[in-house]
Amino acid sequence: MLHKVRIYSRFERLWHWSQAALIISMGATGFEIHGTYYLLGFERAVEFHTTAAWGLIGLWAFAIFWHLTTGQWQHYIPTREKLLAVTRFYAIDLFRGELHPYERTDHRKLNPLQRLAYLFFKLVMAPMLWITGLCYMFFNNWETWMLAPYLDLGTVATIHLAGAFLITGFLVIHVYMTTLGHSVFEHIRSMITGWEMVEEDKVVQATVQQAKLTEK
């Protein structure tokens, strides 16, 4: 029997969709700046890219503050609990019609593989774009800030582009993973409404496990 469980708060949903829109906008304009195709024109693409970049930096800064003050950062702590089971599910059991081995609740939103993926996003991919993007943005100030001897524009550009490809790949995989619920649009719907349908016995199991962790 399925049970309705609230997984995502209003802020998480706003943050998620705003971040998605800004990243897609930056990807589209960034690849045009790189010369991949012509749509807006170079100058306009740079303008849109820069505006979206500042918007994303502001959103990430506020999201970091929210995670730290609400304790939501704990969802990203790596764990080996059911790591092999979840890996096996996506590699084999998914195609056999097996049920997902991880029970999600508002206290346990991310399975072990998601934790590792999002942690990599936050600690590697995002800083790659932050740092190199700001270096790009303030290129004319390198001499004034005495950074010119330590930075090379070609290297900065290569790292920034590598980060863009990583996030593009992450986005493609992320969208694919959203289709692996009980229905194709289940996970997308839950990120819109905040609610997800979970088997009732799994809700009880997850609540008990959370209580045990709290006691420790």
Tens digit of pLDDT for each residue in 23-36? 999 999 998 988 88
| Owning domain of residue 17 | 2-215
| End-to-end C-alpha distance for the chain, whole angstroms | 31
Beta carbons of 76 and 115 less than 8 angstroms apart: yes
- Whether this prediction's pTM lies above 0.75 is answered by yes
Residues 1-5, mean pLDDT to the nearest whole number: 69
Q: Phi and psi for 25 in degrees, rounded to 5? A: -60, -45
pLDDT at residue 36, rounded to an integer: 86
Beta carbons of 91 and 53 less than 8 angstroms apart: no
Quote the number of domains for the chain.
1
| Secondary element (H or E) of residue 205 | helix 200-215
SS3 content of the chain, % helix, strand, coil (to 5): 70, 5, 25
DSSP β-ladder status, 2-6 and 195-199? antiparallel
Residues 76-127 pLDDT 10s: 889 888 899 999 999 998 888 888 888 777 777 888 999 999 999 989 999 9
In the chain, what percentage of residues exceed pLDDT 70? 90
The band of 216, judged by pLDDT with boundaries at 50, 70 and 90, is very low
Determine the Cα–Cα distance for residues 102 and 81; give it in Å rounded to an integer: 9
183: exposed, middle or buried (C-beta count within 10 Å: 0-12, 13-18, 19+)? exposed
Determine the Cα–Cα distance for residues 155 and 113; give it in Å rounded to an integer: 31
In the chain, what percentage of residues exceed pLDDT 90? 46
What CATH number has the domain bearing residue 60? 1.20.950.20
Q: What ranges make up the beta strands (E) of the chain?
A: 2-6, 195-199
Calculated CA dihedral for residues 114, 116, 120, 126, nearest 10 degrees: 30
Residues 167-206 pLDDT 10s: 999 999 999 988 887 778 888 888 899 888 776 555 444 4
CA 157 remoteness from chain centre: 23
135 SS3 class:
helix
Determine the Cα–Cα distance for residues 214 and 120; give it in Å rounded to an integer: 26
99 SS3 class:
coil
